[in-house]
Chains A and B, each alone.
Chain A
Amino acid sequence: MTDATTAPSRSRDLDKLLLRPGNLVGPIFDPGTQLREDLKEYVRILVVGAGGLGCELLKDLALSGFTNLEVIDMDRIEVSNLNRQFLFRLEDVGKPKAEVAAKRVMQRVSGVNIVPHFCRIEDKEIEFYNDFSIIVLGLDSIEARSYINSVACSFLEYDSDDNPRDITMKPMVDGGTEGFKGHARVILPGRTPCFECTIWLFPPQVKFPLCTLAETPRNAAHCIEYAHLIKWNEVHGGKAFDPDEPEHMKWVYNEAVKRAELFGIQGVTYSLTQGVVKNIIPAIASTNAVISAACALETLKIASGCSKTLSNYLTYNGVEGLHIKVTEFVRDKDCLVCGPGVLIELDTSVTLQKFIDLLEEHPRLLLSKASVTHRGKNLYMQAPPVLEEMTRSNLSLPLFELMGKATKDIVHVTGIENKDDKKTSCLRKLRVVFKGIDGIMDMDMAGGA
């Protein structure tokens, strides 16, 4: 043990936690300087999102003993970010968030390396995500969380008794905020519920019925949505509405005012128009700070075992007094995403094309435009065009051959899920079993072949 009193070290405070044994710690905890060095050397963390949570997360993680960080975000900095995204300055407006955030944290915390990725999360190969020890999510959309969750869960392998193999488990720490409220959660795929197991925690957004907008508007929001969803198309025909175009927004506002006057409705303002049209979620620095700090602390605990971990969902509410509550949710045993995978039984003669068609009709999947990978090898890719061309010839070959004549194995497919009139990009893990060979019972469940 190093003597903190004699050697001044940046790690002065953190060392108390990492170098000293404790009783209320995680099972993997092995205190000492080696642990501290291992966190620097071997632990790689991806922060998804460089917004209100992401900026805080990068700072918190950089000051929690981690030195290998990467951050991914597709957005550019806007003026309205500056009240909370403290790594950005007025002169940064218009620049990619990921790049500026990474640069600022590296400038202030020496020894930390942050690699920025200015792109959509779907643009990265699935394998990109497998490179990280822990994935930390600072997002504001359900779709993006759902996607990262499905990617992280796709790495999870199950043994022959359907028990998850710990070594393939990709931990996630997820945070979210809205005004004075927020949540932080730890997802250990296969052990604790994944995002999809508890998707009901995020109720679907309420949309106004079109007939209300068209015939019986009652409040300002109805008038705004009428102008935005109905009137815009009537007047502008094919021209797409762009919420970031001030002229478009002003037009919608003016139309909403006219409609409100017509019906004797009060309360249409420009600010409300923006709020309704862009579905703006109010956000403040303090809540982001609290939730990110909880997420960073849990990340440190997962990586080091220096204390017990959150089990498994924290809700925070600062509206009336202060309420912090921990709930232990349970896994959905039939979860499509973190379970052992959807079982697909096929004849050995089924071609890759036929297989892709089957996924679209499969009642649990409803997956169109599928790209297929097997053990990291692209069998068919819908995009980019180069890859599509390279893999196109596989479509006519039997999947059994393409999978190296394995009688059963895991296949990953990405595509568009079409459920409840909603299209979302997703990744699904499938357990493909070929019928009628080597003792596999031919249950003749059809399968289309």
Chain B
Amino acid sequence: MAAEPKTKYDRQLRIWGEQGQTALEKASICLLNCGPTGSETLKNLVLGGVGSITVIDGSRVEVGDLGNNFMVDESSIGQSKAKCVCAFLQELNDAVKAKFIEENPEALIETNPAFFTQFTLVVATQLVEDSMIKLDRICREAGVMLIFARSYGLTGLVRISVKEHTVIESKPDHFLDDLRLNNPWTELKRFADTIDLNVTEPVAHKHTPYVIILVKMAEEWTKAHGGSLPSSRDEKKEFKELIKARMIAIDEDNYKEAIEASFKVFAPLGISSDLQKIINDNCSEVGSNSSDFWVMVAALKDFILNEGCGEAPLEGSIPDMTSSTELYVNLQKIYQAKAEADFLIVERRVREILKKIGRDPHSISKTMIKSFCKNSRKLKVCRYRLIEDEFNNPSIPDLQKYITNEEYSVAMGFYVLLRAVDRFAANYNSFPGQFDGEMDDDISRLKTTAVSLLNDLGCNGSTLTEDLISEMCRFGASELHAVAAFIGGIASQEVIKLITQQFVPMSGTLIFNGIDHKSQVLAL
């Protein structure tokens, strides 16, 4: 018996759509270590219908595992952990291909780097620094996406490592509508000219959409002010007063909306600094190896500098607003027509560029270019340093900033301590506080290790508190279920963003602070 996938996945299809779901169903994910952090990460992905999973873990289930991992039970004791976890995960969704390999991930990284090239993405949990660095190099070279996740007592981390991740559908929560109220194109201006704001018929007056009101009021203002828009606070206030003065009844929602939306008239012309950065990126000088994304950016750049007169292609949609149906639908058509015209120009440029760089001019689909144009103001490019580079050469100004800033200091402390415990383990063959009875010694050893680490990073005068160091020893490398579920939840969310190429993945290292929940993302 199988459920209709559309019904089963309904609540998530409303977030990432059919396209996002297809991308998930094509992805193959590899998990290293299936303790609770890894198991919980995969659980969320299996439920969402990821294509295939491969669980890699060389350990056997112990009694202690029953207390923090839901995917093993009494009957699992002594058996391969990878096998037991894999069996439970398969139970959650039979559409997912689930397999396991009973092998130690560290050994696999050492002996068989080519193994990892078959995956879309690797989720590496509970790895120590040395293995992280090695795996990172392997995946970077093979173009395999990588996410590190680690739970450690009441702290932990999540870190993405991908050379470059580009996003067309970033789907931000709040984004300024693309209405061009202060810079209407010919058709919009002509349409506005056909409408008289002073119409005396009350029903018509209260159903003039605010877009028209604002286009006309902005034009009126610029005529009276030598071509410039309201800019000072007083001018903006005056502009709103002028709109208010046009109301002929107190219940005119369209005028209220116009006053509320008047800030859209004051918006600066041209593209945002973020988009400017993208079109100025070296990658926008395309060659035969450029990705589709950068080919489209190159076309976008040409459009902005030529036909667009400094603006990106029009998005083409308008928000809901009080209006008669007829005016609203006509207005919609005008916006759509302009967006279509802009798209056709970009499409032509994309085809030309493809031809120039020796690629099939039709290798990028119309749908893709259309989506690119519609989202062109919201494009995102995320790049991640190699873990090794971050570890050896962290950004010193950022490091100093985090250490001295009260909001960040605990998270920064945990960042340093999470690295220090690995150095500690390399020296003493166990994590600080892993065993009872050596707590006091471990605390002073961990302190020495952390201070020397900070010195190596070029940070003198450690501001690590004694309390935090003791706390780290108290944690004793424990993997608490609730912390693992939190870290695993975030890791799976970032996997989804990377695979669907929608939304924006986090930029640095998330340091979880389970003491007061003041977790932070540190970019170093």
Q: Which residue numbers of A lie inside 8 Å of B, CB to CB?
A: 1, 3-5, 8-14, 16-17, 20-24, 56, 59-60, 63-64, 79-80, 82-84, 86, 89-91, 107-110, 179-180, 184, 212, 216-219, 263-265, 271, 274-275, 280-290, 292-294, 296-297, 300, 307-311, 314, 317-322, 324, 326
Contact = CB atoms under 8 A, between A and B. Distances in A.
Given A12-B62, A318-B497, 5 more contacts: A21-B474, A83-B8, A263-B325, A297-B480, A326-B518
B221 interface: no
B503 interface: yes
Given A110-B73, A216-B323, A289-B492, A319 B503 contact: yes
B436 A3 contact: yes
A236 B435 CA distance: 72
A290 B491 CA distance: 10
A84 B505 contact: no
Interface in B324-341: 324-325, 328-329
Nearest to B486: A293
A293 to B, nearest CB: 4
Given A10-B63, A17-B153, A86-B47, A322 B11 contact: no
Contacts, number: 258
B125 to A, nearest CB: 15
A293 B485 contact: yes
Contact of A218 (B2, B15, B329, B475): B329
B172 interface: yes
A167 B47 CA distance: 42
Nearest to B512: A324
8 contacts: A14-B478, A21-B474, A82-B47, A110-B73, A216-B323, A297-B480, A320-B170, A321-B504
Contacts of A110: 66, 73-74
Contact of A297 (B482, B496, B506): B482
A319 B173 contact: yes
A218 B11 contact: no
B438 to A, nearest CB: 11
B391 to A, nearest CB: 21
A212 B209 CA distance: 13
Interface in B222-258: none
Interface in B413-446: 433, 435-437, 439
B67 interface: yes
A321 B380 CA distance: 11
Contact of B521 (A86, A90, A307, A321): A321
B249 to A, nearest CB: 14
A319 B433 contact: no
B64 A10 contact: yes
Contacts of A63: 36, 67-70, 481-482
B177 to A, nearest CB: 15
User: Considering residues B44, B466, B505, B518, which has the most beta carbons from chain A within 10 angstroms of its beta carbon?
Assistant: B44
B147 interface: no
B489 A24 contact: no
A402 to B, nearest CB: 47
B3 A180 contact: no
User: Considering residues A218, A275, A296, which has the most beta carbons from chain B within 10 angstroms of its beta carbon?
Assistant: A218
Contacts of A318: 490, 493-494, 497, 503, 506
Contact of A13 (B67, B516, B517): B67
B8 A180 contact: no
Given A17-B478, A20-B474, A286-B492, A79 B43 contact: no
A86 B92 contact: yes
Interface in B357-373: none
Contact of A282 (B11, B435, B474): B11
B501 to A, nearest CB: 14
Given A63-B481, A86-B92, A89-B91, A290 B489 contact: yes
Given A14-B67, A86-B92, A287 B489 contact: yes
Interface in B448-499: 466-468, 470-471, 474-476, 478-486, 488-490, 492-494, 496-497
B15 A284 contact: yes
B400 to A, nearest CB: 22
B489 A9 contact: no
Contacts of A296: 482, 485
B1 interface: yes
B10 interface: yes
Given A17-B154, A17-B480, A110-B73, A286 B467 contact: no
Contacts of B470: 22-23
B198 interface: no
Contacts of A320: 170, 172-173, 503-504
B409 interface: no
A283 B13 CA distance: 9
A292 B518 contact: no
Contacts of B38: none
Contact of B63 (A8, A21, A283): A8
Contact of B8 (A79, A265, A281): A79
Contact of A285 (B1, B10, B43, B505): B43
B66 A10 contact: yes
Contact of A294 (B328, B476, B486, B507): B486
Contact of A319 (B7, B329, B504, B507): B504
B483 A216 contact: no
Contact of B493 (A5, A180, A293): A180
A285 B67 contact: no
A14 B47 contact: no
A284 B64 contact: no
B105 interface: no
B63 A297 contact: no
A297 B489 contact: no
A216 B325 CA distance: 5
A399 to B, nearest CB: 46
B74 to A, nearest CB: 6
B482 A16 contact: no
8 closest cross-chain pairs (CB), A and B: A12-B64, A289-B489, A10-B67, A290-B489, A63-B481, A293-B485, A293-B486, A13-B478
Contacts of B309: none
Nearest to B13: A271
A179 B15 contact: yes
Given A10-B63, A79-B7, A289-B485, A16 B478 contact: yes
Contacts of B504: 319-321
Contacts of B515: 24, 307-308
A56 to B, nearest CB: 7
Interface string B2-26: 1110011111111100000000000
A59 B66 contact: no
B478 A82 contact: no
B44 A286 contact: yes
Nearest to A90: B3
B519 interface: yes
A38 B238 CA distance: 67
A24 B475 CA distance: 12
Contact of A64 (B62, B207, B482): B482
B517 A326 contact: yes
A10 B468 CA distance: 27
B474 A14 contact: no
A280 B7 CA distance: 13
A360 to B, nearest CB: 32
Contacts of B47: 82-84, 86, 285
Contact of B481 (A64, A285, A286): A64
B514 interface: yes
B9 A83 contact: yes
Contacts of B49: 83
A293 B154 contact: no
Given A83-B11, A280-B11, A284-B15, A59 B436 contact: no
Nearest to A217: B325
Nearest to B504: A320
Nearest to A105: B70
Contacts of A216: 207, 322-325, 328
A289 B488 contact: yes
Contacts of B320: 218-219
